[in-house]
Amino acid sequence: MIEIRFHGRGGQGAVTSAELMARTAIGGGKYAQAFPNFGPERRGAPVTAYLRISDSPIRVREKVYNPNVVVVLDPSIMNVTKVDTGLAADGVLIINSAKPAAELRKAFGFKQKIATVDALHIALEELKAPITNTVMMGALSKVMGVATPAQVKGPLEERFGPGLAPKNLKAFERAYEAAKAEG
């Protein structure tokens, strides 16, 4: 089982990311669960979402305390939240940042593998809005091999409809190509 924790701010799509990745995994014959954790609902407030994907039924029904992967939709959240808390020693941080992994490692003391993608830039170009959810889904999919653009197309169409789905798929595809992982 792979356990993933998403960190973002209200309105950026962390909860939607987890939900869409779960739908994609289920559509591919896997088991998955996704759920949010947030305080007072307001745009810009810190939000955490969780995702589990497995080849067998998932029996656990609690927060993800020791994720294999942490996805950071908004890099400013790293100034107020220790996003690597509980991250497995062999885990991966996937961060929305134009900065290189070495710079992020130095600034925040990260010990695990880091993958980066300039999700904000892609979102602004493709979606014309600073909503990085489908962009970060693309980075997660490339780095962890959890989905392909073809697999995510259906869930994106169901969620966003014919007007927004193609733009979100393009954002996903660009991040899928652009994500850079260490090593």
Dihedral angle computed from the Cα positions of residues 59, 61, 67 and 71, in that order, rounded to the nearest 10 degrees: 120
Tens digits of residue pLDDT in 119-150: 999 999 999 999 999 999 999 999 999 999 99
pTM over 0.75: yes
* The architecture CATH gives domain 2-181: 3-Layer(aba) Sandwich (3.40)
Cα dihedral value 75, 77, 79, 84, nearest 10: -90
Q: Where are the domains of the chain?
A: 2-181
